Amino acid sequence: MIAQISALKTCKLSKAPCFPSEALITMADGTPRPLSALRAGDAIIAASADGTLTTDTVSLLSLADADVQGTTFVVLTTASGRSLTLTPTHHVPVGAACCADLKQAKDIAVGETVYEAVSSSAAVSATQVKEIGTATKPGLHSPVLSHGTMPIVNGVATSFDELHNVRLASYGLPLLEAVGLTATFRDAFLGAHRKYIA
Q: What are 40-88's pLDDT values in tens digits?
A: 999 999 999 999 999 999 998 899 999 999 999 999 999 999 999 999 9
Which pTM was predicted? 0.86
Domain holding 60, by residue range, is 2-191
Domain for residue 196, yes or no?
no
Q: Is residue 112 part of a domain?
A: yes
- SS3 for 5-24, per residue? HHHHCCCCHHHCCCECCCCE
> Distance between CA 86 and CA 83 in Å, rounded?
10
Residue 193 has a pLDDT of 66
Give per-residue pLDDT as tens, 96-112: 999 989 999 999 999 99
- The model's confidence at residue 1, banded by pLDDT at 50, 70 and 90, is very low
Look at residue 148 and tell me if it is in a domain.
Answer: yes
Within a domain: residue 100?
A: yes
Of 155, 55, 88, nearest in space to 115 by CA: 155
CATH at 185: 2.170.16.10
| Dist. CA 14–CA 17, nearest whole Å | 8
Determine, yes or no, domain membership for 95. yes
Has residue 110 been placed in a domain? Answer: yes
In a domain? residue 197: no
In a domain, 121, yes or no: yes
Are the CB atoms for 106 and 93 separated by under 8 Å?
A: no
In the chain, the number of structural domains is: 1
